[in-house]
């Protein structure tokens, strides 16, 4: 009985298979023992076949000696849960307004349902995943985000329990990594009075990658990567190139928040930040273990 994976390899000769594996060897050697922070979101998170691919990729990276850490989002799942309790999500300048009741829903969706689904998938694929929130081991300290109006900076919007990161204590993550576990982190921080904060998952992943001095930050998204004005994929950029692309309007709108964390990480010592097309099966593995581009790589210099 052949599995779908075996059937899909039928057309590849043994020689070609050996070449594919041999090509991966320099990358395995180069990144052995290095930390990879992966922001898991978009289609890769909601399509069952892509979920399976993602879990297998994470386990494989761990088995060949890398240290993957997963940070996940969960916007669509939160919207679905809020609808079930009769609440409609409201947004100000792209930020979810998070009152106390909404925060409760966010916590049980992210730290309960979504996190445990990911942990289960990785474990089923042969890994040892452990779920964490920002509370565990004092991982993510946060404070209330003060959001200035984009048209009138003197005016502030109150978006409730939305947080910005004050500090990250990576001790619990490092302890798990050193012990063969794969940490799966929900982007929930805690404040000085033990209150919970909903934090943008891209920002958590970027900050964590910076604090851990990660080799790579991989952001799985629903886009091909950064495109030029002609719609062509830009496969390799420096942080300075990005500044120029923002200045001339090539990068704008919804792309900016995704890029903001990526640039911060690249400028703060993360060697490479990859914006990866999560709609491509095994895109993350191919991005790390081959010289083909499945998105945009932003180099620190």
| Chain centroid, CA 114 distance in Å | 14
Q: Return the structure tokens found at 193.
A: 């009075």
Other C-beta atoms closer than 10 Å to the C-beta of 201 total: 23
Tens of pLDDT along 161-202? 999 999 999 999 999 988 899 999 999 999 999 999 999 998
Place of tokens 């939160």: 78
What is the per-residue pLDDT across 286-297, written as a single tens digit (0 to 9) for each?
889 988 778 899
- When mean pLDDT is compared over 12-16, 145-149, 184-188, 219-223, the highest value belongs to 184-188
Report the predicted TM-score, pTM, of the whole model to 2 decimal places.
0.91
Statement: 31-299 belongs to CATH 3.40.50.1970: no
CA distance 146 to 253: 20
Place 223 in a pLDDT band, splitting at 50, 70 and 90.
confident
How high is the pLDDT of residue 21? 83
Domain residue extents for the chain: 31-299
Give CA–CA dist 23/41, Å, rounded.
Answer: 28
> Is 198 among the annotated ligand-binding positions?
yes
74 annotated among ligand-binding-site residues: yes
Structure confidence by residue, pLDDT tens digits, 4-35: 444 455 677 888 778 888 889 999 999 999 99
For 262, the enclosing helix (H) or strand (E) is: helix 255-267
Whether 141 has a binding-site annotation, put simply, is no
pLDDT of residue 8: 53
96 in a labelled binding site: yes
Contact 104, 82 (CB under 8 A): no
Residues 6+ apart with CB under 8 A from 224: 233, 277, 295
Q: Coil, helix or strand for 24?
A: helix
Whether the per-residue pLDDT at 259 is higher than 70: the answer is yes
End-to-end CA distance of the chain: 50
Asked whether residue 253 carries a pLDDT value surpassing 80, the answer given is: no
């Amino acid at each position: 009985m052949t599995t779908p994976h075996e059937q899909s390899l039928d057309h590849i000769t043994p020689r070609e298979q050996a070449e594919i594996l041999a090509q991966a060897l320099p990358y395995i050697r180069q990144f052995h023992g290095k930390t990879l922070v992966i922001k898991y979101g978009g289609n890769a998170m909601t399509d069952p076949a892509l979920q399976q691919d993602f879990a297998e990729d994470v386990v494989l990276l761990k088995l060949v000696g890398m240290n993957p850490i997963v940070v996940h989002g969960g916007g669509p799942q939160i919207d679905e849960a809020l609808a079930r309790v009769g609440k409609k999500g409201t947004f100000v300048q792209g930020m979810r307004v998070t009152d106390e009741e909404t925060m409760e829903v966010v916590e049980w969706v992210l730290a309960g349902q979504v996190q445990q689904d990911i942990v289960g998938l990785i474990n089923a694929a042969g890994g040892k995943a452990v779920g964490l929130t920002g509370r565990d081991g004092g991982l993510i300290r946060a404070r209330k985000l003060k959001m200035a109006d984009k048209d009138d900076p003197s005016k502030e919007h109150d978006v409730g329990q939305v947080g910005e990161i004050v500090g990250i204590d990576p001790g619990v993550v490092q302890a798990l990594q050193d012990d063969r576990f794969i940490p799966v982190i929900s982007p929930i921080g805690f404040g000085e009075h033990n209150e919970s904060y909903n934090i943008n998952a891209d920002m958590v992943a970027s900050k964590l990658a910076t604090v851990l001095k990660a080799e790579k930050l991989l952001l799985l998204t629903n886009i091909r990567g950064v495109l030029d004005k002609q719609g062509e994929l830009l496969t390799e950029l420096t942080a300075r190139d990005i500044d120029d692309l923002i200045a001339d309007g090539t990068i704008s709108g919804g792309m900016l928040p995704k890029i903001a964390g990526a640039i911060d990480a690249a400028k703060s010592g993360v060697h490479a930040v990859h914006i990866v097309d999560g709609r491509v099966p095994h895109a993350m593995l191919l991005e790390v273990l081959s010289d083909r581009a499945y998105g945009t790589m932003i180099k620190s210099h």
